[in-house]
Structure formats: C-alpha cells, structure tokens
A and B are shown apart, each in its own frame.
Chain A
Amino acid sequence: MLLVLGRRLANVIPTLLAVIALVFLLFSVLPGSFISGMNEDGRSTIDPAVMERMRKEMGLDDPLLERFGKYVAATVTGDLGTSFRTREPVTKMLSNRIWPSLKLVLAAMTFAIAVGVTLGFLAALRPGSWIDTASMVGAISGLSLSQFWFGLMLMYLFALKLQWLPSFGYGDGGLRHLILPAIALGVGPMALLARTTRAAVLDVLNADFVRTARSKGMSERRVVEWHVLRNALVLVITIVGLQFGSLMGQAVVVEKLFAWPGVGSLMVDSVFQRDMPTVQGCILMIVLFFLAINTLVDLAYVVIDPRIRYQ
C-alpha cells in the first residue's frame, strides 16, 4: 500500500513540472499580454513609460527560461505569484474558489455514480428488457448531449418554467443552487458509467467462476452479491477514476454557464485577460486534483483486487 502511494507521489513532481512548462510555452506563443490587453480594449490608453514600468515589474520582458525558473522556485515554496488583474496572491484567490469547485465536482460525481452504476446494473441483470433498452438509450443521449445545451435546458425547465430551483449563482452555498449545475456536469460521466457498468457486469456474469458459483446451488441473487459485484467493481472504478479526475477541468463550461464561482470560471476569465499567474495557478489546481484522484483510484485497486498487492 505504502509502496504504491510512494511510487505515485514520485510521479507527481515531473508531471507538475511538465504541465507548468507547457503552459509557459503556450502563453509565450499566444499573442498579446496582460498589458497590451489593457491598452487595446479601446477605452483607455496607457502611457508607454507606465507600460514599460509595468512590464518590468511583472517580469514580462525576461527570457522565457528565466521566468520559468523563477516560477518553479517560487511554486516550491508555496508562492504561486500575484495576480496581474487583482494584485492579490493567487493562492488566496484559489483558496476562495477551490471549495465551490470541489463541491460541484463531488456532487456531480455522486449523481453520476448513483444513477449510472444503478442503471448499468439493472440493465445487465435483465438484458433485453425495457429497463435495459431505456437506460442504454438514456446513456447514449447523455453521452451525446453537450453540457452547454443540457445546462440551458435544465435552467429553462427547472428554473424558468417550474421555478423549483435557482437558475444560476452560488447563493448561500446551499444545496438548492448546487443541484442544476451538478446534474449538467454529471450527466456525461453518468452515461458513461451506465454503459461501462452494464458491460462489466455482463462480462463477469459469463465468467467461469460464476458458473462454478451456480453449480454450488447459489441463488442468482447470491451469485451476484458474493461473486459478481466485486469483480465488476474493479472495472467500474477505473472509469469512475478517469471521469472524476478530469471533471474539474470539464467543469469550466458548466461553471461559466451557471456563474459558479469555481476554479474553472476563474481560469476562463484570467485567460481572456492574459493574467498568467492566475491561469497557472488554476491549471496547477486542476492537475493536482486529477493526480490526487488517480492516486486514490490506485489505492482503491489495491484494496479491492488482491492480485495487485503482490505484483
């Protein structure tokens, strides 16, 4: 268990370095900077001397490698720099945003697992039945929907027409504001989980050891409880992990749409203004989340599958 954890953590550092480097490169080829952006919005003109001073202050004229080195050195000490836009430390901005983001992602994943895995199981236990057909049609639709359109439809139906739930915003941070964005974000993973669970359970139901279980005189219910569930879970967890990890990144669209004050919407705003330290911070956060979930999934395998412990 510790070995797996250690090996995982050793992978985190090079991954983070690579991500930071990639973002630096992308920004260096992106036209414009924070300062030119301020100048070009048509409303204001900045004195070239002031611009020059700001560029120096923000270190925008330094060579790419030097800036990269400085950033990495600062990051190691926990300093993610200061936002160009708000002049606040990026760590402080992120700490305000991370909880709403986590809440949204956790709620979306809970919805996806609860509905997706249940539907997949029911479908697999009654292949060809109405519930199988219905849930698989639902899953395909869920996979094909765009979050953006689906989110708008949810708003239209539940906020505008039925007026059951608020259409956007964080509110007081309660459940009512969370439901619609969580469903909009969770519908994709839910659909994928339904399909994967169905396939996994069907696969396990055809396994030789399930035939052995039946030959022991077990009821079909016991066969499923004692032998099918755990084996199917190994496959399902893989998909849960992959979806869960990337969900914070995927949340960008939903956060913007529902004006949810999370990391994703902060990142989009910062990109538009070329607020590089903030963008870097957001991306780091999203990547860290992905890596953390992946590590948890690896640990979960070790708990569930005895074969992995000894390899």
Chain B
Amino acid sequence: MTGPLLKVDNLRISLAGDGATYSAVENVSFEIGRGEAFGLVGESGCGKSITALAVMGLLRRPLSLGGGRIVLDGKEIQDASAAEMRRLRGKRIAMIFQEPMTALNPLSPVGKQIAEMFVLHEGMGWNEAMDRAEDALRQVRVPSPERRIKDYPHQLSGGMRQRVMIAIALACGPDLLVADEPTTALDVTVQAEIIDLMAELCAAKGTAILMISHDLGLVANMCKRVAVMYAGRIVESQAAEAIFATPSHPYTRGLVDSLPRLGERSKRGRQRLREISGVVPSIAAYPAGCRFNPRCPSVTEVCREVVPEATPLPAEGLVRCHHHG
C-alpha cells in the first residue's frame, strides 16, 4: 500500500472545564511513514501526550476529540466505533507509557499481562499464550524469562518493567508503536538500553514509532524527523539533524541552546547554559497571536495579534513564525 502509515490532519483536542471549552491541542498535523521513527518534542503540558492518546482513541473526559482527521493506513479512524478501535489497539497501534511502576497491574504476574495480548488478539488459550509471553520476554532480553513470567511487577526493577511494557506493546507486531516518554522515569544508563532495544526491535519488525519526549537530544538520536510542540500547536518540524543545525523557530532555538554539549566549553569558554525565560502559559490563558510571544526574544507587534501560518522551510519541514528567514 502507498501513502503514510499514520496521517494526523488538523487535529483539535477539546478540554471541557469551568463551564468553558478550551482547545488543548489545535492545528496539529503530521505524517509517519511505514517503519519510520517520528519524534514529538515539547515541554510538559504542551499537548504531546494527549495527542498520543488521541491517536490511540483513549481520550477520556474532560478531554475529547474536537476535530480533524486521524488516518491509519488510508482509513479514517477518528470516528471509529469503540469495537473497531479495540481491534486496532494493541494489534495495529500499541503504546508504552511513562511510568513503568504504575502502568502494570500490581496484582497480576507480568507473564499473564503479556499473555493477555495473545488471548485478546490472536484467540489463543492461556497455556499457549503463556509460552508466547515467555518468548516475548526473551526478545526484550529479560534474563531467565521462564522464571520471570511468574514474577509480579514489584519484583522487577524499573528498567525490567519497561522491558515488560515493550514486550506487551510489541507482542502482536503492531504497525505503529506510540512511546510516551518511555525512559523519563528511568536511570540514565537504563534509558539508553531501553531506547536501543526499542529501536532495534522496531527496526527488525518494521514497526513505526511515534516517540514523545521532552528530551530533544534523545528524540533527535532516534528519529528521522522531529516536530516541536508548544502550547498545543506544532511550531516547527524538520529533519532531526537539521533541527540542531538550523532551528527556525525561536522556541526550538531556545531548546537547542539549553542543551549542554560535550566539547563546547573549550570552544566558547566557560559560560552558563542558556534557558528560555518564563513558563508555559496555562491552557485557559493562552495569549492571542503566536502563543510563544510572551517568552520570545524577537517578539514584535504582529506576533501579539496574528496567529502565524505554517510556512514551508527551504529544505523540508515547516515553521510557524512571523519572523523566520
């Protein structure tokens, strides 16, 4: 089949609260090709996680889909029935969550939690499914899987738990893996292992990844293309290398500048890391015009009044800024 695996077009997510309805996410569009790793980066509260939940069809009150299209493999799924979505979830799109501590059921052995996938989607009996669960644990390189399948989540370390989550997500060979901050809760050394494991398994199975993180460095390492979100909108999307070399939006520049880099000190001398001043505005008080304008170093009058259009970048990608170029 041709065309992208996932196409999100003009997505809007509404948040109902205090008698008013806000747009938590708007005008969000991106595409992910088959087997491609795509990164979505932004600060906490910018709407990246709920975008992922919207793709999974897992938005719950007070959040709801306000508009736009989500197209999986040429089929629109934003209005799919609950039963249709259930058949897609787990089977064709799977998700890994941020907290491996709480994302697994504490009262159920991990093997059983993996085996559920085979029972649900491949109609297996529990015995056969448990054998497959053991294989799945071996694939994510959990040592002595034959013993570990009987373990409960509290008997595993954070890294091991996240491996179990990966085993669950990849159990039925989905086309798309949504990874929402999969390593944020882990130690740095474990982070690298988990990322490598995810990248390797997905490459082997041809699974596309929607990687969601606040860590621009991590995302750029793993993904070919990256989109940067700010306050519910995508402000820039580019190829991963290009985003470091030529960040086009002032917010992206701020993110890139705030990353510490090895070897920089000998060139530029000892200096403080730069930060972006101010905080992300609350959803009920998004500023008019460009939502980054209160924190932007090069803000002008037009930024406070007019919402910037998405403009194509010379090579590939888009930026939403009145002053780019």
Query: Does B bind A?
Result: yes
From residue 29 to 81 of chain A, which have CB atoms closer than 8 A to chain B?
A: none
**Measured between C-beta atoms, what is the minimum distance from B169 to chain A in Å?**
8
**Measured between C-beta atoms, what is the minimum distance from B311 to chain A in Å?**
36
A208 at the A/B interface (Cβ < 8 Å)? yes
Residue of B nearest to A216 (CB): B90
Q: Please tell me if the beta carbons of B86 and A217 are within 8 angstroms of each other in the complex.
A: yes
**Measured between C-beta atoms, what is the minimum distance from B111 to chain A in Å?**
13
The CA of A91 and the CA of B104, in the complex, are separated in Å by 52
Q: Please tell me if the beta carbons of B103 and A216 are within 8 angstroms of each other in the complex.
A: no
Stretch of A7-15, A192-200, A223-231 at the chain-chain interface: A223-231
Stretch of B23-31, B67-75, B94-102, B286-294 at the chain-chain interface: B94-102
- Contacting residue for B103 out of A212, A217, A222, A230, CB 8 A: A212
Q: Please tell me if the beta carbons of A211 and B154 are within 8 angstroms of each other in the complex.
A: no
A207 at the A/B interface (Cβ < 8 Å)? yes
Stretch of B10-18, B114-122, B246-254 at the chain-chain interface: B114-122
A215 at the A/B interface (Cβ < 8 Å)? yes
The tally of residues in B whose CB lies under 8 Å from a CB in A reads: 31
Chain A contacts for B95, CB-based, 8 A: 212, 215
- Contacting residue for A227 out of B108, B109, B117, CB 8 A: B108
Chain B contacts for A285, CB-based, 8 A: none
The CA of A310 and the CA of B108, in the complex, are separated in Å by 15
**Measured between C-beta atoms, what is the minimum distance from A226 to chain B in Å?**
7
Known A306-B152, A307-B154: A214·B58 in contact at CB below 8 Å: yes
Most buried by B among A212, A213, A217, A234: A217
Q: Which label, helix, strand, loop or mixed, suits the secondary structure of the A interface?
A: helix
A219 at the A/B interface (Cβ < 8 Å)? yes
Q: Please tell me if the beta carbons of A209 and B58 are within 8 angstroms of each other in the complex.
A: no
From residue 143 to 202 of chain A, which have CB atoms closer than 8 A to chain B?
A: none
**Measured between C-beta atoms, what is the minimum distance from B31 to chain A in Å?**
22
Residue of B nearest to A305 (CB): B107
Q: Please tell me if the beta carbons of A209 and B104 are within 8 angstroms of each other in the complex.
A: yes
Q: Please tell me if the beta carbons of B104 and A217 are within 8 angstroms of each other in the complex.
A: no
**Measured between C-beta atoms, what is the minimum distance from A302 to chain B in Å?**
12
The CA of A304 and the CA of B105, in the complex, are separated in Å by 13
Chain B contacts for A259, CB-based, 8 A: none
Chain A contacts for B168, CB-based, 8 A: 212, 216
B106 at the A/B interface (Cβ < 8 Å)? yes
**Measured between C-beta atoms, what is the minimum distance from A118 to chain B in Å?**
21
From residue 275 to 311 of chain A, which have CB atoms closer than 8 A to chain B?
A: 304-307, 310
A218 at the A/B interface (Cβ < 8 Å)? yes
The CA of A227 and the CA of B168, in the complex, are separated in Å by 15
Q: Please tell me if the beta carbons of A208 and B103 are within 8 angstroms of each other in the complex.
A: yes
Residue of B nearest to A234 (CB): B107
- Contacting residue for A215 out of B58, B105, B109, B152, CB 8 A: B58
B130 at the A/B interface (Cβ < 8 Å)? no
B233 at the A/B interface (Cβ < 8 Å)? no
Q: Which label, helix, strand, loop or mixed, suits the secondary structure of the B interface?
A: mixed
Chain A contacts for B91, CB-based, 8 A: 217
Q: Please tell me if the beta carbons of A304 and B120 are within 8 angstroms of each other in the complex.
A: no
Chain A contacts for B116, CB-based, 8 A: 213, 216, 218, 226
Known A208-B97, A215-B58, A217-B121: A310·B105 in contact at CB below 8 Å: no
**Measured between C-beta atoms, what is the minimum distance from B65 to chain A in Å?**
16
Query: How would residues 119 to 141 of chain B score, 1 for a CB under 8 Å from any chain A CB and 0 otherwise?
Result: 01100000000000000000000
B44 at the A/B interface (Cβ < 8 Å)? no
Q: Please tell me if the beta carbons of B106 and A215 are within 8 angstroms of each other in the complex.
A: no
- Contacting residue for A217 out of B90, B97, B105, B154, CB 8 A: B90
Q: Please tell me if the beta carbons of A209 and B106 are within 8 angstroms of each other in the complex.
A: yes
Residue of B nearest to A222 (CB): B120
Q: Please tell me if the beta carbons of B89 and A215 are within 8 angstroms of each other in the complex.
A: yes
Chain A contacts for B319, CB-based, 8 A: none
Chain B contacts for A310, CB-based, 8 A: 154-155
Q: Please tell me if the beta carbons of A215 and B102 are within 8 angstroms of each other in the complex.
A: no
Known A230-B107, A304-B107, A307-B152: A214·B102 in contact at CB below 8 Å: no
Residue of A nearest to B152 (CB): A306
Known A214-B58, A226-B116: A219·B108 in contact at CB below 8 Å: no
Q: Please tell me if the beta carbons of A216 and B99 are within 8 angstroms of each other in the complex.
A: no
- Contacting residue for B97 out of A212, A226, A227, A304, CB 8 A: A212
B235 at the A/B interface (Cβ < 8 Å)? no
Q: Please tell me if the beta carbons of B58 and A211 are within 8 angstroms of each other in the complex.
A: yes
Known A211-B58, A310-B155: A216·B105 in contact at CB below 8 Å: no
Residue of A nearest to B154 (CB): A307
Chain B contacts for A217, CB-based, 8 A: 85-91, 120-121
Residue of B nearest to A210 (CB): B105
Residue of B nearest to A307 (CB): B154
Chain B contacts for A215, CB-based, 8 A: 56, 58, 89-90, 94-95, 97
Chain A contacts for B105, CB-based, 8 A: 209, 212-213, 227, 231
**Measured between C-beta atoms, what is the minimum distance from A216 to chain B in Å?**
4
Residue of B nearest to A309 (CB): B152
The CA of A212 and the CA of B103, in the complex, are separated in Å by 6
3 closest A-B pairs by beta carbon, nearest first, are: A217-B90, A217-B89, A208-B102
Q: List 14 A-B contacts (CB under 8 A).
A: A208-B99, A211-B97, A212-B104, A212-B168, A213-B116, A214-B89, A215-B89, A215-B97, A219-B86, A227-B105, A230-B107, A305-B106, A305-B107, A306-B152
